[in-house]
Amino acid sequence: MSRLIRLGAKCCALANTYVPMVAILLAVSCTSVPELARAVPAAEQAPVAQITVSTTSAGRISPLLYGVNYVWHSVPADEFALFDRAMRNVARYTLARFPGGWAAEHYDWAGNVEVGGNAEPERPGIDPDDFLATVPQASFVIPSARAIRDPSQTGAVVRLAVALVHRYGGRVKLWEIGNEWWLQRGAKRRRDIREENLAAYAALVAAVAPAMKAANPSIEIYATGDWTEPREFAFMRRLVGPAWSAVDGISVHTYCGTLEPQRLCRDIPERLEAIRSVSGKDRLYDSEWSVGPRRTADDYGIRNANLMVLAIEELAFAHVEAAAYWPPVKSVPGIAFVSNDYLQPFATGLVFGWMSRYYRGQALPTGGDLPAAAAKSADGVTLFIASMNSGHRSVHIALQGTGLSRVVSAAVMFAPDPDDPENARLVRFAALPTEVRHDARGQGWVELQLDPGTPGRGVGWEIARVTLR
């Protein structure tokens, strides 16, 4: 089954090579494929990957699933237009988090500078108003670190939060309280410090959430925590007390696909449902996520993109309100969407943009021999199939019971050499020939061929996109 395949999915890191953006964007449009229909004698059939798709919805895919986590000092103001253009053309982003990453705890809102951290004061960050005028939609982060270090600073944080809500609440709906309190003050290695941080963070939430809600009742306020520790949300809820009613949802950071057993992408829906249960909050915002950040030396590029198909599906099945990928550019080059000059798209950015365009509407369950993500929209039913170096070349998508009968379009994404770090990031697109076939009993399926091994087309890690009606 598709879910079992995910257990063995390896993490992936990207290399520093790329292909021209213009050539890729032109290739994406050439996906219309003619279909054939004929009976297939049993003698012609060979072992194939079987894929099934259910037309029973597993829930709506939020349009805000395709956000990015922006870090103002990594993409300074004088580069932001290039950043925005790349995110629209390559990743098709729908949301941006500000100030992204750890900068959320160091950003001076009054002076538009970062205090501490990895600041680049000679290159100022983009002004929040200019940011809001540029991005499709935004979420904002209220700092927590100084109140966690020194509870006497809680009042100052509350005053800052209320002022920001008054100024931006009409334009920003999603608001988080803090960024990764569970890693502050060395808590990653000290359980006692982590417990102290949790108590201090809960005290901040109890003070700031009601004040923010009073300033603008229409905003959504998210308390944050570690997705690998659902039980901490129960403690947080109890410590915050009556003020918990001012909190609308929970934000998490689901870094997954690494070699750590507690960070398997397949666990996202179950883990987030546990968080819903103990917190009493249904709304979830995955404000930082990524797949396989630099865990092995031999995974990169198109391999990372294969795993991203699965991670995005899991976020949809977890019914998150919104999500923001980290990092779309710079900071961690191995998993970025585009090159540092914003001109060259990479495999992860391109598959993200593919799914942002076509993985919309209702999420549909899938099964079979290869991981697949399926969605039903006005365009039809679209499947993304990750070959995951499985060795399968012929793939059958069963049509029986689906009401689907024809192929609207089909395309494949591949790297010329997925085993070479200098080429695995350089993906290409091609039309994917398909056939609608039927057996003697009239049962139909769509057949497509992956990994043909033709010159210039690497094998083993292809991603297919097929739209059916």
207-229 pLDDT tens trace: 999 999 999 999 999 999 999 99
338 & 422 share domain: no
Specify the pTM: 0.87
Give residue for tokens 């750590």: 260
Specify which of 2-11, 194-203, 261-270, 298-307 reaches the highest per-range mean pLDDT.
194-203
Domain boundary among 339, 361, 383: 361
C-beta atoms surrounding 257 within 10 Å:
27
- pLDDT score of 117: 55
Q: Which tokens is 184 given?
A: 């502050």
Domain that holds residue 249: 61-361
346 & 323 share domain: yes
- pLDDT score of 192: 86
Q: Which residue has the higher pLDDT, 399 or 454?
A: 399
Residue 180, Ramachandran bin (φ over 0: left; ψ between -120 and 50: alpha; else beta): left
Torsion of Cα atoms, 232 then 237 then 240 then 242, to 10° = 180
205 & 298 share domain: yes
235 & 120 share domain: yes
Q: Which residue has the higher pLDDT, 83 or 122?
A: 83
Confidence of residue 116 (pLDDT cuts 50, 70, 90): low
Quote the percentage of the chain above a pLDDT of 70.
86
- pLDDT score of 333: 64
CB 416 within 8 A of CB 426: yes
CB 382 within 8 A of CB 467: yes
Q: Which of 245, 262, 243 is nearest to 254 (CA)?
A: 262
Domain boundary among 330, 361, 392: 361
Q: Which residue has the higher pLDDT, 2 or 378?
A: 378
d(CA 216, CA 211): 9
Q: Which of 175, 111, 177, 89 is nearest to 137 (CA)?
A: 175
Q: Which residue has the higher pLDDT, 451 or 276?
A: 276
Q: Over the chain, what is the mean pLDDT?
A: 86
282 & 368 share domain: no
- pLDDT score of 108: 85
Domain of 212, CATH number, reads 3.20.20.80
Core vs surface per residue 270-308: b (16+ CB within 10 A) or e: ebbebbbebbebebbbbbbbbbbbbbeeebbbbbbbbbb
C-beta atoms surrounding 189 within 10 Å:
8
Structural Rg of the chain based on CA atoms: 23
- The HSE-up count of residue 453 (CA atoms within 13 Å, CB side) is 5
What are the tens digits of pLDDT across the range 403-446? 999 999 999 999 988 888 778 888 999 999 999 999 999 899 99
What are the tens digits of pLDDT across the range 449-462? 998 878 888 888 99
What are the tens digits of pLDDT across the range 31-49? 332 223 333 444 444 479 9
The pLDDT of 371-388, averaged and rounded, is: 96
d(CA 375, CA 353): 15
d(CA 89, CA 303): 22
386 & 354 share domain: no
- The HSE-up count of residue 125 (CA atoms within 13 Å, CB side) is 27
- pLDDT score of 268: 94
Q: Is the model's pLDDT at 371 over the cut of 50? A: yes
- pLDDT score of 81: 95
286 & 373 share domain: no
- Quote the distance between the C-alpha of residue 218 and its chain's center: 26
Which range is least confidently modeled, 15-19, 20-24, 77-81, 196-200?
15-19
- pLDDT score of 106: 86
- pLDDT score of 261: 76
Q: Which tokens is 203 given?
A: 């005290």
222 & 114 share domain: yes
User: How many folded domains does the chain comprise?
Assistant: 2
144 & 291 share domain: yes
Q: Is the model's pLDDT at 120 over the cut of 70? A: no
160 & 273 share domain: yes
Q: Which tokens is 333 given?
A: 């080059």
Confidence of residue 169 (pLDDT cuts 50, 70, 90): very high
CB 160 within 8 A of CB 99: no
Q: Which tokens is 293 given?
A: 């950040």
CB 135 within 8 A of CB 86: no
Domain boundary among 344, 361, 378: 361
76 & 199 share domain: yes
- pLDDT score of 437: 95
343 & 447 share domain: no
Q: Is the model's pLDDT at 339 over the cut of 50? A: yes
Q: Is the model's pLDDT at 378 over the cut of 80? A: yes
Torsion of Cα atoms, 103 then 180 then 318 then 91, to 10° = 20
